[in-house]
Amino acid sequence: DDEVKTGTGKSMYAGTVTIGTSGSAPNFVMKDTSRGGNYTTDLNGGSSGAGTTFTDADNIWGTGAASNRQTAGVDAHYGSQLTWDYYKNVHGRNGIFNNGQGARSRVHYGNAYVNAFWDGTQMTYGDGSGNTHPLTAIDVAGHEMSHGVTEATANLNYSGDAGGLNEATSDIFGTMVEFYANNASDVGDYLIGEKININGNGTPLRYMDKPSKDGRSKDCWTTSTGGLDPHYSSGPLNHWFYLASEGTGAKTINGVNYNSTSCNGTTFAGVGRDVAAKVWYRTLSTKLSSGSTYKDARNGAINSAKELYGAGSAQCKGIQAAFSGISVPA
């Protein structure tokens, strides 16, 4: 039956969580009828097809260990559930496509595949090196599904300035989904991929307070930014989001230390991440298009902040100061 059931998931990265399922004993199904029918399947090492939808006898899923096939499914399903709830409850968006339809998530793609991706219609996750750390952490799931939101809204290109805006948008909303989850095992931070140990030494993939800490991303916008891989040209907008949210200077949030400085030497307070995300969502969904530049992002965000909070508001000033703080000129 299609009635929503509440399952218990023993995840890899987020502890024991509640997940939306359906069906009934002994055939519960990892399909969430309360969230557009989001469902999660096992590719079992394959690289094509729909995979096999996870089922379970007692609606208690996974063990918390990667060796159990359901575990990665729990994390992926939980990530899709959080992403659905974040966009719905915070931005009034009804699913990735804003049409009430959920999406499939596929886990156990290929062998030791160290990536995850949105392909326009569905999510796919590899199991990571050694097949021991699937790329199913909350921020990664939120990042990838936000590529779907970007595609359905501004449809930003994946090259030039727009490529950086595209990637950073996924980092911004992946991060906001992580904060929204308020999960004690995977706390909100301004780091990307801190749970999946992709570098093998425990360091995250990206740092929003100072993107250059990854050795390749840029902190400040220049006329050369658009020539970089989108995962590095995202740096300035990630830095903007941190500065707009938290301001300049040293800060500890959920036990993580940050120290962010502006590119132009100014110091200022942040307007809070909820405000910065609201402004950026409005910018993405009403101001930008495929060829948008960092200058378009600045103008769009300032106009969005004016519409939301008023021209003279502290919020509008903070958004503007943070764009000047990443060297995007007026």
Question: Smallest Cα–Cα separation from 281: which of 105, 88, 144, 63?
Answer: 88
Task: Indicate the residue among 31 and 143 with the shorter CB distance to ligand ASN.
Answer: 143
Q: Of 45-53, 165-173, 252-260, 313-321, which segment contacts Zn ion by CB under 5 A?
A: 165-173
Task: Give the nearest distance from C-beta 312 to Ca ion in angstroms.
Answer: 34
Question: 4 or 114, CB closer to ligand ASN?
Answer: 114
Helix spans in the chain (H): 69-91, 138-152, 160-181, 230-233, 235-246, 273-286, 294-309, 314-324
Question: 35 or 206: whose CB is closer to ligand ASN?
Answer: 206
How many residues at the interface with ligand ASN, by CB under 6 A? 7
The answer to whether the CB of 204 falls within 8 A of the CB of 192 is yes
- Minimum distance from residue 210 beta carbon to Ca ion (Å): 15
- Indicate whether 116 belongs to the interface with ligand ASN (CB under 6 A): yes
Q: DSSP letters along 199-230, please? A: TSSS--SEESSSGGGGSS--SS--TTGGGS-H
CB of 301 to Ca ion, least distance (A): 22
Residues with a catalytic annotation lie at 144, 231
Euclidean distance between CA atoms 254 and 213, whole angstroms: 20
Smallest separation, CB 117 to ligand ASN (Å): 5
Q: Smaller CB distance to ligand ASN: residue 97 or 117? A: 117
CB–CB of 294/288 below 8 Å? no
Q: Rounded to 5 degrees, what angle do the CA atoms 69, 5, 147 make?
A: 60
- Residue ranges in contact with ligand ASN by CB under 6 A: 115-117, 143-144, 147, 167
- Residue ranges in contact with Zn ion by CB under 5 A: 170
- Residue ranges in contact with Ca ion by CB under 5 A: 139, 178, 189, 191
